[in-house]
Structure 1
Amino acid sequence: MALIITDECINCDVCEPECPNGAISQGDEIYVIQADLCTECVGHYETSQCVEVCPVDCIITDPDNTENEEQLRAKYERITSENG
């Protein structure tokens, strides 16, 4: 599953630099996560780094983008091969 940032986001700026895939960026009002780049840190870390650092717990799984571990790993491999 990709993650999403809810409207509880306080724009604290801590999540963006933690994303190893560059999936997080400033949106019009709050930070947003680009689903096609979000691997929930699979391939990089054991846990989603943005979720770990978020002080208001506003980063949740996106019910509209459900992916299993195998799909997330395939996305990670695609992203890293494009950038490598």
Structure 2
Amino acid sequence: MTTFYVLDVPENTPIPEIAAQDPAVRVGKVGPYFRITSPGTIVVDRRATGCRHAVWYSTVAGLEESRITQQDKDALRVEAR
């Protein structure tokens, strides 16, 4: 299972909103974090989120048995280990 966490603050809310548009992705809450999970790879398009670069590059608060394989100006890609 691919899993990553994003702090629930206003500037980060577009990340789980866009991720949840994929029917395979589930977004839940754990304390003050969004927990974003999928049985496969999770890809979030940066432009679709409207996030500025400073927010984009600091958005991932944690990973659970997953790894970031892409985080650049175009997308965030998280895959299971």
* TM-score normalised by the chain length of structure 2: 0.41
Return the structure number with greater helix share.
1
Q: Per residue, is there more strand in 1 or in 2? A: 2
**Greater Cα radius of gyration, structure 1 or 2:** 1
- TM-score (ref. length: structure 1): 0.40
